[in-house]
């Protein structure tokens, strides 16, 4: 039945938009119970991210910075609402077509959820809930909207001559007023219900089962307390142990995976005799060790900050691979994260005595989400990109000939042991120091797998002076160092340079190399200004 030509459009557009809001909220609530990543806006947002060409992604990060995730999700929501408002308007004349389109729109969310890596059939439920809620809301609101339309021109019928009452007319105390009010009440009610459902969904989703520190297993042998570092003696030096909040973060995830440990599992498969799967509870029951390990990112420039150190608790990867029985022909373990990201590690690095771990805790607490909860690979002595997969989901025994991991496809090295490096933390670049006033030059040095034996510092082209070393926490952990220095008067600036020697007696190379493809090398220098 055709509606009146003069019926106002806004209640239809509003109904469409509110139906979308109701659908999104219902979907979000159901997703909280099923799989938070299947929530309509997030599933569609993640699909958009995956489909985005790399240059656009780079631009977005460079321009938006930390606002990139909210802007993306806000844009998806906005486009959805505009489309839904359009569908509402369509419902003004073509009810059936509009309902079909609305179901299609919400179906997109269900489809996107199913396409996410690791999705199960249950992940379609939020989309279905969104479709049902959206359709019901649209029907209900339209029913409230119709009297509003009818009320503005009480005498309906075609062929009637145009009259001033065709526009927004309202008799004093007429039913039109009441009808419009009930539509607005209905709209407000939908808005409120959606807000409650959405907030409830968000609350439920933000609390995946995270164990407390108390629930972590005890390691087989407890390591002694880490010795106190040089922080008190050398203000400005890096802390011997990096607190979790300051630990560097590098990964390819636009949205930090929120993995529910209750539904997570670790698959060990590929060229193995006995593939198996572990739940989080089962992983926590396996024998664990503690290890102090310094991680370094291959992209760390000389003097850069992409290096941090922590005490890790985890299962030896060697134990897991022995349980599976890795085939003799396998030379690579391809690890896959819950996001589908891959890292390749030489088999020998995961089975030798360096004790690579599937870690569940760092510095005494379960892995924070941004550092890989519930479990990650930590391989001492290799740069993170070839051995420290976060949000670990799968270990596959295979060969380098057969499989190429993410960064390998981008021409980074497959064999990437951490290269010896050292860094001056204090004084900082271009800091002004007083001639004649003694101050400490201090910093850190690392050579995972070999350990640091000594560090030397020189001023301008002077002789190399040995630095005093901080405590030694093993060959896979960095060491602090410092040297007391009295700036001589004379020159307005001095260049301080540092170099380290590892336990094999090899002096760090002065040769400058870029991070690509296997890590940066070169001595770190800092220019300080001297005032007399």
Partner 1 sequence: MTHPRRSAFVAIALALPLGLAACGGSAESSDAGMTNSPSSASSSPTTTDGMTEMAAEPFGAGCAAVPKDGKGSFAGMATDPVATAASNNPVLSTLVSAVGEAGLAETLNTTKDITVFAPTNDAFAALPKATLDAAMKDPKGLLTKVLTNHVVPGKLTPEQLAGDHKTLAGTTITVTGSGEDFTVGKAKVVCGNVQTANATVYIIDGVLLPQ
What residues numbered 163-182 form the site for partner 1, per CB under 8 A? 168, 180
Binds partner 1 (CB under 8 A): choice among 97, 115, 178, 195:
195
Q: Which of 324, 421, 339, 405 lies closest to 372 in space, CA to CA?
A: 339
Q: At closest approach, how far in Å is the CB of 98 from partner 1?
A: 18
246 binds partner 1 (CB under 8 A): no
Which residue lies nearer to partner 1 by CB, 268 or 528? 528
Nearest residue (CB) to partner 1, 255 versus 484: 255
Binding mask 404-443 for partner 1 (x = CB under 8 A): ---x--xxx---------------xxxxx-----------
> Binders of partner 1: how many residues, by CB under 8 A?
93
276: left (phi over 0), alpha (psi -120 to 50) or beta: beta
Contact 304, 424 (CB under 8 A): no
Q: Any contact of residue 39 with partner 1 (CB under 8 A)?
A: yes
Site for partner 1, residues 60 to 119, rule: CB under 8 A: 61-70, 73-74, 77, 81
- How near is the Cβ of 88 to partner 1 at its closest, in Å? 11
For residue 71, CA distances in Å to 76, 78, 186, 371, 496 come to 9, 10, 30, 23, 44
How far apart are CB 79 and partner 1 at their closest, in Å? 13
Nearer to partner 1 by C-beta: 183 or 478? 183
What is the gyration radius of the CA atoms in the chain, in angstroms?
31
Q: Is 42 in the site for partner 1 (CB under 8 A)?
A: yes
End-to-end CA distance of the chain: 93
Decide: 138 and 99 in contact? Cβ < 8 Å.
yes
CB of 129 vs partner 1, minimal distance in Å: 14
By C-beta, is 19 or 268 nearer to partner 1?
Answer: 19
Interacting residue with partner 1 among 97, 120, 527, 532 (CB under 8 A): 527
Please choose, out of 7-15, 86-94, 310-318, 392-400, the segment that lies near partner 1 by the rule CB under 8 A. Answer: 7-15
- CB of 276 vs partner 1, minimal distance in Å: 31
d(CA 226, CA 20): 55
Q: Which two tokens stand for residue 510?
A: 């002065």
Q: Among residues 417 and 451, whose Cβ is nearest to partner 1?
A: 417
- Contacts of partner 1 in 309-368 (CB under 8 A): none
Helix residue ranges, H only, 95-220: 95-115, 125-151, 175-205
Contact between 212 and partner 1 by CB under 8 A: the answer reads no
Contact 73, 41 (CB under 8 A): yes
Stretch 289-308 residues interacting with partner 1 (CB under 8 A): 297-299, 301-306
- Minimal distance, residue 530 CB to partner 1, in Å: 11
**Least distance (Å) from partner 1 to the CB of residue 519?**
11
What span, in angstroms and rounded, lies between the C-alpha atoms of 334 and 393? Answer: 11
Give the SS3 label for residue 333.
Answer: strand
Q: Which of 3, 57, 233, 318 binds partner 1 (CB under 8 A)?
A: 57
Exactly one of 79, 97, 100, 192 binds partner 1 (CB under 8 A); that residue is 192
Q: Is-contact 171 140, C-beta < 8 A?
A: no
What character string, x for contact with partner 1 (CB under 8 A) and - otherwise, covers 129-168? Answer: -------------------x-------------------x
Instruction: Choose which of 3, 249, 318, 402 interacts with partner 1 (CB under 8 A).
Output: 249
CB of 504 to partner 1, least distance (A): 27
DSSP codes joined into one string, 365-424 = EEPPGGGTTT-EEE-TTB-GGGT--SSEEEEEEE-TTT---HHHHTT--SS-BPPPEEEE
- Among residues 248, 265, 275, 400, which is the contact residue for partner 1, using CB under 8 A? 248
Positive/negative CA dihedral, 321, 326, 331, 332: negative
Long-range contacts of range 91-97, CB-CB < 8 Å, 24 or more positions apart?
Answer: 91/12, 91/15, 91/16, 91/138, 91/142, 92/3, 92/7, 92/9, 92/12, 93/2, 93/3, 95/142
């Amino acid at each position: 039945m055709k509606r009146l030509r003069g019926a106002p459009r806004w209640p239809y557009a509003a109904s469409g938009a509110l139906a979308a809001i109701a659908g999104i909220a219902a979907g979000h609530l159901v997703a909280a119970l099923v799989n938070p990543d299947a929530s309509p806006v997030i599933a569609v947002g993640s699909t958009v991210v995956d489909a985005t060409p790399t240059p656009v992604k780079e631009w977005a990060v460079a321009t938006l910075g930390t606002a990139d995730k909210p802007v993306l999700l806000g844009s998806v929501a906005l486009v959805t609402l505009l489309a839904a408002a359009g569908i509402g308007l369509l419902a003004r004349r073509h009810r059936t077509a509009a309902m079909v389109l609305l179901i299609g729109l919400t179906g997109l969310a269900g489809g996107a959820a199913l396409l996410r890596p690791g999705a199960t059939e249950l992940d379609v439920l939020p989309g279905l809930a969104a479709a049902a809620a959206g359709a019901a809301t649209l029907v209900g609101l339209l029913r409230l909207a119709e009297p509003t339309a009818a009320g503005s021109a009480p005498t309906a019928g075609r062929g009637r001559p145009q009259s001033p009452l065709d526009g927004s007319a309202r008799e004093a105390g007429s039913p039109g007023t009441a009808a419009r009010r009930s539509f607005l009440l209905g709209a407000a009610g939908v808005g409120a219900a959606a807000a409650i459902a959405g907030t409830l969904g968000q609350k439920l989703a933000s609390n995946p089962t995270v164990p407390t520190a108390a629930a972590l297993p005890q390691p087989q042998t407890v390591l002694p307390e880490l010795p106190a570092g040089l922080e008190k003696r050398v203000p400005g030096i890096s802390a011997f142990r990096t607190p979790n909040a300051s630990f560097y973060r590098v990964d390819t995830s636009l949205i930090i995976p929120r993995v529910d440990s209750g539904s997570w599992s670790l698959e060990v498969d590929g060229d193995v005799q006995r593939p198996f799967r572990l739940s989080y509870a089962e992983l926590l029951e396996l024998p664990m060790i503690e290890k102090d390990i310094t991680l370094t990112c291959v992209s760390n420039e000389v003097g850069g900050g992409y290096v941090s150190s922590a005490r890790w608790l985890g299962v030896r990867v060697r134990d897991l691979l022995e349980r599976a029985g890795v085939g003799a022909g396998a030379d690579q373990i391809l690890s896959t994260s819950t996001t589908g990201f891959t890292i390749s590690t030489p088999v020998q690095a995961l089975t030798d005595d360096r004790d690579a771990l599937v870690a569940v805790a760092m510095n005494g607490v379960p892995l924070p989400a941004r550092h890989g909860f519930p479990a990650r690979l930590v391989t001492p002595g290799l740069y993170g990109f070839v051995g420290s997969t976060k949000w670990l989901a799968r270990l596959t025994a295979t060969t380098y000939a057969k499989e190429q991991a993410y960064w390998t496809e981008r021409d980074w090295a497959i064999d990437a042991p951490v290269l010896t490096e050292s860094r001056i933390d204090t004084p900082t670049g271009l800091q002004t120091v007083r001639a004649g006033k003694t101050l400490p030059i201090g910093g850190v040095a690392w050579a995972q797998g070999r350990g640091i034996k000594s560090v030397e510092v020189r001023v301008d082209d002077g002789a190399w002076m040995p630095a005093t070393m901080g405590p030694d926490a093993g060959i896979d952990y960095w060491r602090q160092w410092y040297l007391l220095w009295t700036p001589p008067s004379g020159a307005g600036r001095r260049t301080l340079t540092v170099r380290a020697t590892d336990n094999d007696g090899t002096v760090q190379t002065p040769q400058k190399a870029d991070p690509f493809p296997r890590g940066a090398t070169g001595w770190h220098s800092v220019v300080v200004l001297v005032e007399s």
